[in-house]
Amino acid sequence: MRKATSLTVEAELLHYVHRTRRGRSRSERVNELLRRGIEQEREEALAAEAQAFFASVPHAERAETKAWQALSARSWRRE
């Protein structure tokens, strides 16, 4: 669903949209750029969440995980 709205946009941004629209309307190009920006923000938020999660893992668990990974790698090499 599309909804008409009024926004104030910097002239530099409008110029960029006009230069890069490749035959599409300005609205289509702006929507594309907004979708890309939203997706990038989501990815950044997920990365930050993962970083916070893995930062909370105690050092002892990290050592156990690395040992398990080493044993798994050896097991795979034998097969």
Whether 29 has a pLDDT exceeding 80, the answer reads yes
Whether 70 has a pLDDT exceeding 90, the answer reads no
Whether 40 has a pLDDT exceeding 80, the answer reads yes
Read off the pTM: 0.65
Lowest mean pLDDT among 9-13, 25-29, 74-78: 74-78
**For residues 68 and 74, is the Cβ–Cβ distance under 8 A?**
no
Using CA atoms, how far residue 11 sits from 7, 16, 38, in Å, is 12, 9, 21
